[in-house]
Amino acid sequence: MTINALYWYVSIFGWLFLTGVGLPPCPEEAGILFAASVDTLHPEVWWPFAWAACGLGIVTADCVLYGVGRRWGPKLFEYRWVQKFLSTQRRQRIEGYFTQHGMKLLVLARFLPPLRTGVFLIAGATRYSFVKFLIADFTYAVVGVGALFFFGTAVLALVHRFESTAVFLAAILVMCYGLFMYYKLLRRRDWTGGTRPPVSVVQGPQGSVPEGEPAKNPTAAPAAKKEAQIALGEG
């Protein structure tokens, strides 16, 4: 292993780790495509090590989030910066899903960038089994990361045959744009299924009416009609 190859492995691991914990808020899938481009452009980089660097970076970041949630517990979700991306209502729904789905929810969260950070924090805060957490995480690291990694290497290797830097960069931009549109679509949809806020009911002269709506006065309409007639000279 050369020093140059080691540099690329470390850079892949660092990118996936930092994006995994949300610093900066960049999709980790872009890091996997970066690893695919490194494997395509640098012959000294061996694809099993590049793939392993991606998986280890993601798993390490997820374990850090799990540990933060386990260390601070429910108090962590009282901070404003946490509530900006994970509201109380959404957190309660996700906690309820853990009791029914568990590992399936952890795997599904990998494909939902707006929520996966919160899911891993909740897993730690609820003291979800760390062994099951690792099984679900390594499953994605092997299957999900591997699928995107080899898809990226196949596409970029095909493009690289044209020996055109412009075409190669255009292919990377197209894939990144596709990821951006995918995340934009996910942010518009609440995959947990929103519920309408409850409506408080108050008792009025006409029975139960929703709070915030004035109760209808049976004498209001005739009185208003009579005033209108007087104003028009009909009274």
Q: Give pLDDT tens digits for 114-134.
A: 678 888 988 998 888 999 999
69 within domain boundaries: yes
Whether residue 222 is contained in a domain is answered as no
In a domain, 118, yes or no: yes
pLDDT along the chain (235 residues), means of 10: 90 91 79 88 90 94 93 84 78 80 82 78 90 91 89 79 64 69 60 42 46 48 50 46
What is the pLDDT at residue 163?
Answer: 59
In a domain, 219, yes or no: no
Is residue 177 in some structural domain?
A: yes
Separation of alpha carbons 157 and 172, rounded Å: 12
Tell me if 194 is assigned to some domain: no
Domain that holds residue 76: 3-188
Q: Please report the pLDDT score of residue 56 as a whole number.
A: 95
| C-alpha span between 108 and 156 (Å, rounded) | 27
- Read off the pTM: 0.67
pLDDT digits (tens, 9 = 90+) for 28-49: 888 888 898 888 888 899 999 9
Q: Is residue 207 part of a domain?
A: no
Our count of domains for the chain comes to 1
Which pLDDT belongs to residue 76?
84
Q: Residues 6 or more apart from 71 whose CB is under 8 A from it?
A: 124
* 61 is a domain residue: yes
**Mean predicted lDDT score pLDDT of the chain:** 76
Element (H, E) at 187: helix 165-188
| One-letter identity of residue 132 | K
